[in-house]
Each structure stands twice: as C-alpha cells, then as structure tokens.
Amino acid sequence: MAAVTGQASAGESTSVLTRVGQTQRIRALAGAHARRPTSQVSPLANIKSAAKKARQAEKHRQRNVALRTRMRSAIKKAVKATGAGDATAATTACQAAVPAIDTMVSKGLVHRNKAARHKSRLNKALKTLKASKAG
C-alpha cells in the first residue's frame, strides 16, 4: 500500500510512481529521435561528391514517387470505370493507363512483367465489359 501512495517503505528505495515516471521519461527521450522526417537528406556525407549524390538521390526518389503515383492513379481510374460499367469511359481510361504503365517500364521503375500483368488485367476487364454490353 505504501508503494501505491508514493511513500517508500523500509525495504523500498524508490516508489512505484517514481519508477513509472523514469520509464516514461526514458521512452519519451528514445522516441524523440524516431520522429525525424524521412524525406530530408541526411547530412552524414563528409565528402562533396557524396553530399551531391545524396541530394540527387533524394530528387530522383521524389520524382519516382510522383511517377509511380501517376501510374497507380491511372490504373485505379481504369478499374473504377470498368467497375461502373461505362464502356466508353473505361476504354479511354485504359488507353490513358497503358502509356503510363509503359513509361514506368522504360524508366526502370516497374518490372516489365508487372506492367504486362497490369495491362493484361485491364484489357481483360475491358473486353469482358464490352462483351456483357453487346450480349
């Protein structure tokens, strides 16, 4: 009971509350370093060429993220159009998605087999949609 109230008994050197407070402080200090944003270039490079390479890598990473997002958005738009059942919108969305996918392959951001799989599935869904509308 003495430990709960914060008073140390004869056998205890510190109370439970004090130990809990220390643990919270330690966790807070440990978590402070983990909250750094990952998108900033780390200033660890001591050599000019290494610092330049780090800057270039960050630029390339941001560009790649944007291009990959553009491809994924085009695919989602095509899938949504085919799911809605609108054949003309699905056709135009697929026609827009295929060059976006091919661009990612040429830039080396997506493996050619993955691109082929995406294009195949889009075309299959479009073909199924057109067949269901015709028949």
Report the amino acid identity of residue 135.
G
Residues counted in the chain: 135
CA end-to-end span of the chain, whole Å? 80
What integer pLDDT is reported at residue 112 of this predicted model? 97
pLDDT, tens digit, 9 for 90 and up, residues 53-82? 999 999 999 999 999 999 999 999 999 999
What integer pLDDT is reported at residue 43 of this predicted model? 66
What integer pLDDT is reported at residue 27 of this predicted model? 64
| In contact, 94 and 76? CB cutoff 8 Å | no
What integer pLDDT is reported at residue 99 of this predicted model? 97
Distance CA(26)–CA(67), nearest Å, equals 41
Please state the pTM of the whole predicted model: 0.64
Checking 24-28 for CB contacts under 8 A at 24+ apart, the result is none
What integer pLDDT is reported at residue 95 of this predicted model? 96
Distance CA(120)–CA(98), nearest Å, equals 10
Low-confidence ranges of the chain (pLDDT < 50): none
